[in-house]
Amino acid sequence: MMRSYSDKHNVQKKSYYNDRYFVAPQIPKEAVESDDVFANDLSVLKAKFEIQEAYIQKGQLVVYIDPKDNVSVLQTLRDELSYNFLSEHSAIDWLAKSGEFEIFYQMLSTSKRKRMRVKCFIKEKEVLKSVIGVYKSADWAEREMYDMFGVIISGHPYMKRLLMPDDWYDHPLRKTYPLHGDEVAQWYEIDKIFGKEYRDIIGPEERDSARVDVNDTYRFAHLNHEVPFGAEPSQEKTVTDYQEEGGVFIVKKLKKEDAKILKERY
Amino acid sequence: MQKVNRLKPFFENIAFEREDNHMIVNFGPQHPSAHGQLRLILELDGEKVSKATPDIGYLHRGMEKMAENMIYNEFLPTTDRMDYIAATANNYGFALSVEKLIGLEVPRRAKVIRMMLLELNRISSHLFWLATHALDVGAMTIFLYTFREREYTLDLIEDYCGARLTHSSVRIGGVPLDLPKGWIDGLNKFINHLPLDIADYEGLLDQNRIWKMRLEDVGVVSPEQAQSWGCSGPMLRGSGIAWDIRKEEPYELYDEVEFDVPVSTTCDSYGRYKLHMEEMRQSVRILKQLIPMYAETSPEIMAHAPQYISAPKEQIMTQNYSLMQHFVLVTQGMRPPVGEVYVATESPKGELGFYINSQGDPYPYRLKLRAPSFFHTALLQEILVGEYLADVVAIIGNANIVFGEIDR
């Protein structure tokens, strides 16, 4: 029997069935001239920089630039075209397709009430200049992007992983990284807390969040059959109502069936 | 990097004690005033902070990664876990971005119900903010009062969707249920009473000497800082910039209701406190207008788009083709068109944005969650410098950060 093919470059979940005649429709891309404000923005940018592609999609201008121009384009957008916010900045992994990352800067102009997106492609090992000098909000956005994708940034004052631990192996949002973590990830906490020599004794970390072990009383509650932490599971029924005769101060033999339910809130 | 082992833990090469007046304090991640899992490395000069380094990631669950491995409807309950104080705001932000992606118009009644839930969530979130913030600063009474009122909002939400914390009360294409019987009466009672309660809080706090001393001129965010650091919501309006997405880029029926956008020009924590109070009043005002609007709507609550949205239950149970479509949508998921969309909504904390890149598959190719608190936490490293150690807690509390959405 042939082993089924699995794509090593993209280990994310894929649809198990694809209609071979199905062609996904495209969200239309409108010409930039259809909006006066965006047309003006684009002409200012075109006069200074090389613009590879520009269109309007869902009411937002999308501009593809040369990655080397990123700082100066954003500087122009902020100072001349009054895009005063960098709302979001991250990357998209196209490594399997073309060996590139697509970087996007989501901009907002509060005075013009317009949003636009500046985009560029960089190669996997290519260095991207930091835009922190233009927008401070790029500080953590760039650190997160490095953490998640391994996009190398130059000129950032404190380029360190943001969400993952500093000694984490690989970058989790890449398409080659499996959802439940890789081989290294399943030993990370064991190595860190107990040491490598405990790998055989403890075993790899259980990364399947849906797994339920009925015999495990460390991690799973056994409702109505409760046993002490770590003891053998038992079939004996445990009563959960308050049992003490005479009760304690305030709680006097709590019976659930006698509990009163309020009809009105106020 | 230093060599890490069990006996020599890894502290980023920081010396925790020094000989002069300088000292490094490790604040959190398990600190009651850290509002979640915030770790702050504070360098102190005497009692003043000379450098602050926020460290996040203790609640990181990889939601963006999960989104790439889930069909769109599957991901909706996951968004509950972002800003868990106002879960509907996240559900709604995600649902709206998918609706924008597939170009869907939602029935009017669903819009009204969504707005009601969103405003209730805003009130609940602001009440929670006031409670925890006041508790951090030392005012215990407020905590008890606001939690009472928050309980009423949670009761209303529970009556609607059955959940108090993780609501999932919005669906892509509409809302799952119509309002239950008597719900409007409960809402009416609540919104008639809330302004009186807000007046009570203000009576306790507005002229309170301790409250004013702890908040006035503390945590000043200049308008330039707010813009550069990507602040949004009350943090931005607290710096004198009138920008509310509900007003400027109206979604749902926000262009049909009347409300004001409160702005504070003092740029400090006290101004932001006044702002939150006023926002709650505006939410009440919106809710009051929504009640007659609800009565005028026709009963549809889900959009009709068989390619993307399952038909109503009766139709699924009676018509074969609807059942087939429902089966395909549940097992394979909807396939939105190829393209990308960035949709920002005004969540109680600020601009909540969803960037979705779709390649025509049932799974989003890339989904980026733009959480307002993420940028507000980054701002801490600048505004904490020069403040006293005692004010650090007040500023963190005032920034209204929630770790579910920072770490995602």
pLDDT in tens, B99-151: 999 999 999 999 999 999 999 999 999 999 999 999 888 888 899 999 989 99
Q: Is B339 on the interface with A (CB under 8 A)?
A: yes
Q: B209 to chain A nearest CA, in Å?
A: 32
Q: Give the count of domains, chain A.
A: 2
In this structure, what DSSP letter does residue A24 have? P
Option in A86, A115, A177 nearest B342 (CB): A115
Tokens, residue B342: 């960035």
Query: Looking at residue B194, what is its pLDDT?
Result: 92
Please give the Cα distance from B329 to B309 (Å, whole number).
Answer: 7
Please give the Cα distance from A37 to B244 (Å, whole number).
Answer: 21
**pLDDT tens-digit profile of A35-56?**
888 999 899 988 988 888 999 9
Q: B217 to chain A nearest CA, in Å?
A: 23
Structural domain containing residue A225: 212-254
**A198 in any annotated domain:** no
Query: Looking at residue A73, what is its pLDDT?
Result: 92
Instruction: Give the number of residues written for chain B.
Output: 408
Whether B338 and A25 lie within 8 Å, measured CB to CB: yes
Q: Residue B219 contacts by C-beta under 8 Å, 6 or more apart in sequence?
A: B268, B269, B383, B387, B391, B394, B395, B398, B399
Option in B101, B227, B344 nearest A84 (CB): B227
**B301 in any annotated domain:** yes
Whether A58 and B365 lie within 8 Å, measured CB to CB: no
Tokens, residue B285: 């005002």
**B339 in any annotated domain:** yes
Nearest CA in chain B to A177: B65
**pLDDT tens-digit profile of B310-322?**
988 888 999 999 9
Angle formed at CA A35 by CA A31 and CA A41, multiple of 5 degrees: 95
Q: Is A51 strand, coil or helix?
A: strand
Q: Say which range, A173-187, A249-263, B33-47, has the weakest mean pLDDT.
A: A249-263
Q: Where are the alpha helices (DSSP H) in B180-312?
A: 183-205, 209-215, 223-228, 234-237, 245-248, 269-295
- pLDDT-based confidence at residue B16 (cuts at 50, 70, 90): low
**A24 in any annotated domain:** no
Q: A260 to chain B nearest CA, in Å?
A: 17
Tokens, residue B363: 């799974």
Residues of A in contact with B189 (CB under 8 A): 265-266
Query: Looking at residue B184, what is its pLDDT?
Result: 93
Query: Looking at residue B1, what is its pLDDT?
Result: 45
Please give the Cα distance from B369 to A88 (Å, whole number).
Answer: 9
Option in A27, A108, A167 nearest B4 (CB): A167
Interface test with A, best of B187, B224, B340, B377 (most A CBs within 10 A): B340
Q: Is B175 strand, coil or helix?
A: coil
Query: Looking at residue A90, what is its pLDDT?
Result: 93
Residues of B in contact with A22 (CB under 8 A): 335
Q: What's the CATH code of the domain at A39?
A: 3.30.460.80
The answer to whether B194 touches B188, Cβ cutoff 8 Å, is no
Q: What is the mean pLDDT of residues B272-289?
A: 93
Q: Is A164 on the interface with B (CB under 8 A)?
A: yes
Helices B72-79 and B87-102, interaxial angle, to 10°? 160
Q: Is A56 strand, coil or helix?
A: strand
Tokens, residue B249: 């880029």
**A196 in any annotated domain:** no
Following DSSP, what letter does each residue of A61-128 receive, concatenated? EEEEE-GGGHHHHHHHHHHTS---EEEEEEEEEEHHHHSEEEEEEEEEETTTTEEEEEEEEEETT-EE
Whether A15 and B360 lie within 8 Å, measured CB to CB: no
Q: Provide Rg for chain B, Cα atoms.
A: 23
Q: Residue B311 contacts by C-beta under 8 Å, 6 or more apart in sequence?
A: B304, B319, B322, B325, B326
Q: Does A223 share its domain with A131?
A: no
Nearest CA in chain B to A25: B337
Instruction: Please identify, among A112, A139, A154, the residue that sits at the C-terminal boundary of a domain.
Output: A154
Q: Residue B201 contacts by C-beta under 8 Å, 6 or more apart in sequence?
A: B130, B142, B145, B146, B277
In our burial notation (b when 16+ CB lie closer than 10 A, e otherwise), range B148-169 reads: ebbebbbebbeebbebeebbbb
Query: Looking at residue B369, what is its pLDDT?
Result: 92
Instruction: Tell me the percentage of chain B whose pLDDT exceeds 90.
Output: 55
Interface test with B, best of A11, A16, A22, A27 (most B CBs within 10 A): A27
Whether B355 and A106 lie within 8 Å, measured CB to CB: yes
Q: Residue A26 contacts by C-beta under 8 Å, 6 or more apart in sequence?
A: B337, B338, B339
The answer to whether A61 touches A41, Cβ cutoff 8 Å, is yes
Q: Does A147 share its domain with A53?
A: yes
Query: Looking at residue A183, what is its pLDDT?
Result: 83
Whether B155 and A135 lie within 8 Å, measured CB to CB: no
Query: Looking at residue B27, what is its pLDDT?
Result: 84
In this structure, what DSSP letter does residue A26 have? B
Residues of A in contact with B338 (CB under 8 A): 24-27
Query: Looking at residue B33, what is its pLDDT?
Result: 75
Q: Does A147 share its domain with A242?
A: no
The answer to whether B300 touches B107, Cβ cutoff 8 Å, is yes
Whether B70 and A17 lie within 8 Å, measured CB to CB: no
Option in B339, B344, B407 nearest A26 (CB): B339
Query: Looking at residue A250, what is its pLDDT?
Result: 61
Q: Is A188 on the interface with B (CB under 8 A)?
A: no
Option in A12, A87, A164 nearest B363 (CB): A12
Q: Count of CB atoms within 10 A of residue B211's CB?
A: 20
Interface test with B, best of A9, A20, A53, A58 (most B CBs within 10 A): A58
User: Residue B15: exposed, middle, or buried by beta-carbon count in 10 A (0-12, 13-18, 19+)?
Assistant: exposed
Query: Looking at residue B2, what is its pLDDT?
Result: 47
Following DSSP, what letter does each residue of B351-388 receive, concatenated? EEEEEEEE-SSSS-SEEEEE-HHHHHHHHHHHHSTTSB
**A188 in any annotated domain:** no
- pLDDT-based confidence at residue A86 (cuts at 50, 70, 90): very high
Query: Looking at residue B191, what is its pLDDT?
Result: 92
Instruction: Please identify, among A127, A154, A181, the residue that sits at the C-terminal boundary of a domain.
Output: A154
Q: Is A198 on the interface with B (CB under 8 A)?
A: no
Instruction: Give the number of residues written for chain A.
Output: 266
Nearest CA in chain B to A114: B249
Please identify among residues 86-115 of chain A the ones whose CB lies closer than 8 Å to any CB of chain B. 86-88, 90, 92-93, 104, 106, 108, 110, 113, 115
Interface test with B, best of A136, A142, A168, A176 (most B CBs within 10 A): A136
Q: Is B369 on the interface with A (CB under 8 A)?
A: no
Q: What is the mean pLDDT of residues B312-333?
A: 90
**pLDDT tens-digit profile of A175-228?**
999 888 888 888 888 888 888 888 888 888 887 778 888 888 888 888 888 888
Residues of B in contact with A195 (CB under 8 A): 5-6
Option in A60, A136, A166 nearest B229 (CB): A136
Q: What is the dihedral of CA B312, B313, B315, B316, to 10 degrees?
A: 110
Task: For residue B136, give the nearest of B399, B406, B374 by alpha carbon.
Answer: B399
**B113 in any annotated domain:** yes
The answer to whether A120 touches A67, Cβ cutoff 8 Å, is yes
Instruction: Kindly report the three-state secondary structure assignment for every residue of B78-147.
Output: HHCCCCCCCHHHHHHHHHHHHHHHHCCCCCHHHHHHHHHHHHHHHHHHHHHHHHHHHHHHCCHHHHHHHH
Instruction: Please identify, among A107, A131, A154, the residue that sits at the C-terminal boundary of a domain.
Output: A154
Please identify among residues 23-52 of chain A the ones whose CB lies closer than 8 Å to any CB of chain B. 24-27
Q: What is the mean pLDDT of residues A65-86?
A: 91
In the sheet that A51-57 helps form, which strands lie side by side, from edge to edge? Answer: A51-57, A60-65, A114-123, A100-109, A85-94
Q: What is the mean pLDDT of residues B88-109?
A: 93
**A235 in any annotated domain:** yes
**pLDDT tens-digit profile of B282-296?**
999 999 999 999 989
Mean pLDDT of all residues belonging to chain A: 86
Structural domain containing residue B217: 63-305+331-370
Q: Does A131 share its domain with A222?
A: no
- Is the model's pLDDT at B379 over the cut of 70? yes
Q: Residue A260 contacts by C-beta under 8 Å, 6 or more apart in sequence?
A: none
Please give the Cα distance from B23 to B49 (Å, whole number).
Answer: 10
Q: Which phi-psi region, left, alpha or beta, contains residue A159 (left: φ > 0; alpha: ψ -120 to 50)?
A: beta
Task: For residue A137, give the nearest of A149, A145, A148 by alpha carbon.
Answer: A145
Angle formed at CA B56 by CA B55 and CA B62, multiple of 5 degrees: 150
Q: Does A42 share its domain with A144?
A: yes
Instruction: List beta partners, residue A56.
Output: A30, A61
Asked casually if ipTM beats, i.e. exceeds, 0.90, the reply is: no
Q: Give the count of domains, chain B.
A: 1
Interface test with A, best of B58, B154, B229 (most A CBs within 10 A): B229
Q: A14 to chain B nearest CA, in Å?
A: 7
Q: Is B243 on the interface with A (CB under 8 A)?
A: yes
- Is the model's pLDDT at B46 over the cut of 90? no
Q: Provide Rg for chain A, Cα atoms.
A: 28
Whether A16 and B332 lie within 8 Å, measured CB to CB: yes
Q: What's the CATH code of the domain at B153?
A: 1.10.645.10
- pLDDT-based confidence at residue B18 (cuts at 50, 70, 90): low
Q: Does A37 share its domain with A138?
A: yes
Q: Is A20 on the interface with B (CB under 8 A)?
A: no
The answer to whether B72 touches B364, Cβ cutoff 8 Å, is yes
Q: Residue B203 contacts by C-beta under 8 Å, 6 or more apart in sequence?
A: none
